[in-house]
Amino acid sequence: MKMANLAINHINKSFGNLTVLKDIDIAIEDGEFLVLVGPSGCGKSTLLSIIAGLDDHTSGSITIDGKSVQGLEPKERDIAMVFQSYALYPAMTVEQNIGFSLEMSKMPKPERLERVGKVADLLQIRHLLKRRPGQLSGGQRQRVAMGRALVREPKIFLFDEPLSNLDAKLRVEMRTEIKKLHQRLGATIVYVTHDQIEAMTMATRIAVMKDGILQQFGTPEDIYDRPANVFVATFMGSPPMNLLPAVIVDGSQGLSIQGADAMLPVPFSAVTRAPQGKKVLLGIRPEWLSLASTSTYQPTLDLYVEVVEPTGPDIFVALRLGEREIMGRLPTGSRTRVGEKARFAVDLSKAVLFDAETGIAI
């Protein structure tokens, strides 16, 4: 299948005074799986519509395979799209639904049926071809919607929150399936979701958006381990990253946690960049805490255990440090009891410091 790189160049969109998208600049290579993620209203679906040609933008350009698609109708952009509501044509059979785009491009019927058949086999829905959307389950509709996209063999697949109408179990199944499909076809995919787990599990690149502004663009590891700002740190990951207000002391060597009588050394990565007296936020993911053994070389905090929530593979613990609440994530079997004070080791090699005023990572 022919695949293409996609460049979103300085896209702006506004309605009068309302800015919907501000200077979005993203480029991906062939075969990448780009996830646009952010809270509702962040502009991710609008951006997808602009890529598809369903929506206009105010300035900037989209190039697919190095060529600008400015002014091209959606059908001329060599893209295919899967919608949140699946948007299947109610009066057509599955076969007609999948083959509709080929029919519109006047492909002869035998060839069309062959293409539809191939896609149906790929998605294991051949037995459904004569049915209508109303006779299908949610998962089956989802497959038909994907079939409708696959049959066009486009350069880029666009997915607009395709799993959000499915129940939790099916959602996980389809997630895996889409990922498999991506690996098998080597397709270039742009995928919109508000679900950070979907973003983390599927993407090769993630673009985190908020209020029409691109917050961070990078690999899932980048986004998770090195969030560019406080928003990304708290939006990605569940439970979110703990943020502890602190002040740099001891000649840029120490962190005094505000609202608690506790000190930690400044993470090595930030030592040279945080002057004495600066107010910062110390970002620690819940799993970067562990019960300290007596021989630990890591810095430790003495924390009061307030709530213990076993989830199966992990135990979530709500911990208290002075006025601050901290979430920890411990392996099952860790011995903690509600009401006790325990010593926790903090993996400061991973911890992130944010400027308390701007929220930007130091």
Partner 1 sequence: MSLQLDAESAAILSPGIDLRISRILGRYFVYGCLVVLAAIFLAPLISMLFTSLKSMDEIRSGNILSFPKALTFEAWQHVWGSACIGVTCGGLKGYFGNSFLIVVPATLISVGFGALNGFVFANWRFRGDHILFGLILFGCFIPLQIVLIPMAGLLGVLHLAGTIPGLVLVHVVYGICFTTMFFRNYFVTIPAEIFKAARIDGAGFWAVFVRILLPISWPIVMVSIIWQFTGVWNDFLFGVSFAAGSSQPVTVALNNLVNTSTGTKAYNEDMAAAMIAALPTIIIYVAAGRYFLRGLMAGAVKG
| C-beta closer to partner 1: residue 106 or 169 | 106
d(CA 292, CA 346): 9
| C-beta closer to partner 1: residue 144 or 282 | 144
Smallest gap from Cβ 336 to partner 1, in A, equals 48
Enclosing H/E stretch for 49: helix 44-52
| C-beta closer to partner 1: residue 166 or 266 | 166
| C-beta closer to partner 1: residue 80 or 228 | 80
| C-beta closer to partner 1: residue 92 or 213 | 92
Smallest gap from Cβ 193 to partner 1, in A, equals 16
Smallest gap from Cβ 35 to partner 1, in A, equals 20
Phi, psi dihedral angles at 312 (to 5 degrees)? 115, -90
Smallest gap from Cβ 150 to partner 1, in A, equals 13
Contact 166, 142 (CB under 8 A): yes
Smallest gap from Cβ 92 to partner 1, in A, equals 8
| C-beta closer to partner 1: residue 65 or 222 | 65
Smallest gap from Cβ 141 to partner 1, in A, equals 12
Cα–Cα separations (whole angstroms), residue 321 to 12, 76, 303, 308: 44, 59, 5, 16
Smallest gap from Cβ 179 to partner 1, in A, equals 23
Among residues 148, 161, 142, 174, the alpha carbon closest in space to that of 84 is found at 161
Cα–Cα separations (whole angstroms), residue 20 to 9, 15, 52, 195, 243: 16, 7, 17, 20, 29
DSSP 65: T
Enclosing H/E stretch for 51: helix 44-52
Task: Give the residues lining the site for partner 1 (CB under 8 A).
Answer: 49, 52, 54, 73-75, 79-81, 83-92, 100-101, 104-105, 148
Smallest gap from Cβ 75 to partner 1, in A, equals 3
Cα–Cα separations (whole angstroms), residue 60 to 11, 24, 35, 46, 57: 4, 9, 20, 14, 8
| C-beta closer to partner 1: residue 71 or 275 | 71
| C-beta closer to partner 1: residue 135 or 332 | 135
Contact 202, 35 (CB under 8 A): yes
d(CA 26, CA 41): 19
- The SS3 of residue 53 is coil
Question: Could you tell me if residue 230 is left (phi over 0), alpha (psi between -120 and 50 degrees) or otherwise beta?
Answer: alpha
